[in-house]
A and B are shown apart, each in its own frame.
Chain A
Amino acid sequence: MSAFGLKDKIAIVTGGGSGIGEAISKAYAEAGAHVVVGARQQERLDRVAGEIRKMGRESLAIATDVTVPEQVDNLIERTLEKFGRLDIMVANAGGGGFSGVMKATLADWDRTIGLNLDSAFLCDVAAAKVMIEQGDGGKIINISSTAGINLNPRLEAYAAAKAGMINLTKSLAINFAGHDINVNCVAPGVTVTPYMRQRGYAPSATRKDGTEVPPLLLPNETEHVADACVFLASDAAAHVTGELMIVRGMFHMERSNDVLRDRAGLIQ
């Protein structure tokens, strides 16, 4: 089972202060890695870093805007100062927010592309430079979204950026294969973050008719995405590169069944 472990690996997780990034950071620590978390809000990072240290692993919390090259460089430099090397980069930072294609300005578009796609380019390449210099390989994981695969009438810029990330992954995988660096992509479907749960956006596990929703028909928990990221960062995925792992059950099926039941008057 040691093939699935990350003992004493050094990982950077961007967007590591909350949501999916927080879950990835903790899962990495659980698997034995030391984790550097980077995101814009220092307070959130400090909390996650504190929790990782309580797990007996080391952690650094470095406030970073991953759309700014100098700040990405700083994130890497501080990691090397503290740990002397870098084994795993998870480009997870990203987010939606786009005012609809008819109203959006080029600045709106650029902001979303910058946060979701430029950030991956900056982090991936900066990490690869270190890994190539080290000469013993590495793992790069980009967190895309099923928005980058599905039809998306309302997330134009986000969906385009996430689709771009999927193909960036393949290009980098070819470029870096000769250095034994694996570059892969994880595309989560709808994932319930603590923030969504607090706000009451998490779908109920019980239907209106009182029956339970089967686990595979529920949306992801953040841990499900983290599990895929542990696998891809581990020796178990040594021969996987340029691939896309879509993490989603059949939540869309449950949702369309809901619509059907509604229309059939079966839901009171």
Chain B
Amino acid sequence: MSRFELTGKVAIVTGGGGTAHGTGRSIALSVADAGAKVAVVGRHRDALDGVVAEIREHGGQAAAIPADVTDAMQVETMVAATLDAFGSVDILVNNVGGITFGKPEEITPDAWAASISLNLNSTFFCCAAAARQMIEQQGGKIVNIASSSGIKGEENAPHYAAAKAAVINLTRSLAISWAIHNINVNCVAPGSVKVPDRPIPGMPEDEYLKRRILQSADGAKPLQLPGDPKDIANAVVYFASAGSDLMTGETLVVRGSEWASAYS
């Protein structure tokens, strides 16, 4: 068991204030549950405070660090604030991201740039800033959250799918660059994750309803249904732990058997 524990480590989890699906919150809680002190990063102070309070209720240590990680200056501040709070940066989980929908021929240059900024630039800025610290510490674990969209494409979100594909390949490049510093860089690519009872802001109603129907299919086994945020969080804990010490540059797709229909 101890191979998967994170006792004594300091982790930054971006988008930890709870995304639409609650993946960020689940990651922050799981990383804390595994023993790490967690810097919970996001734009909305209230949401961060909520997750920090939950971690503390479970006996963990956490700090809310508000930052917009699409801004490289704020990313520097985020790393400095984490060092102030906990003294090191051992684990970085780049969970910030988001999908918007639109037909490719109708996506505006601004929407394109916004998706690349939110999903790709943020990941690179955080990786670089955290790695500068990890290089000093001579080691660290970086886990990027991509998406199965970055592998299979996405019909009505090409800007999202392209950015996530770039995150997967950024992971490979950084893994090569930083292997000599003992920094593992890996990626978790979730497939569909269960949507909550309430509609998700920005998700078209038909898309939301489709997902609700899919996840309530009678008689289907868990592997045939969308995943749970906890499934993603467990994979993150694995890549943050000593259990993955000799894995780097890899992407683990967490999507049950969803890929079967994607390729048939």
Give A residues with C-beta under 8 Å from B: 1, 3-5, 30-31, 137, 173-174, 177-182, 214-217, 220-221, 224, 227-228, 230-231, 235-243, 245-250, 253
Contact = CB atoms under 8 A, between A and B. Distances in A.
Given A4-B1, A231-B4, A253-B176, A214 B181 contact: yes
Contacts of A179: 221
Contacts of B228: 239
A224 B245 contact: yes
Nearest to A224: B246
B252 A245 contact: yes
Given A4-B237, A228-B243, 11 more contacts: A3-B230, A178-B223, A181-B223, A182-B223, A215-B245, A216-B184, A220-B246, A239-B254, A242-B259, A245-B250, A246-B250
Contacts of A230: 3-4, 243
Interface of B: 1, 3-5, 33-34, 175-176, 179-184, 221-224, 227-228, 230-231, 234-235, 237-238, 242-248, 250, 252-257, 259-260
A180 to B, nearest CB: 4
A236 B246 contact: no
A1 B260 contact: no
Nearest to B237: A236
A177 B4 contact: no
Interchain residue pairs A-B with the least CB separation, the first 8: A177-B257, A236-B234, A239-B231, A250-B179, A224-B246, A227-B243, A239-B227, A177-B223
A230 B3 CA distance: 10
Given A227-B3, A248-B246, A250-B175, A243 B252 contact: yes
Contacts of B184: 216
B1 A31 contact: yes
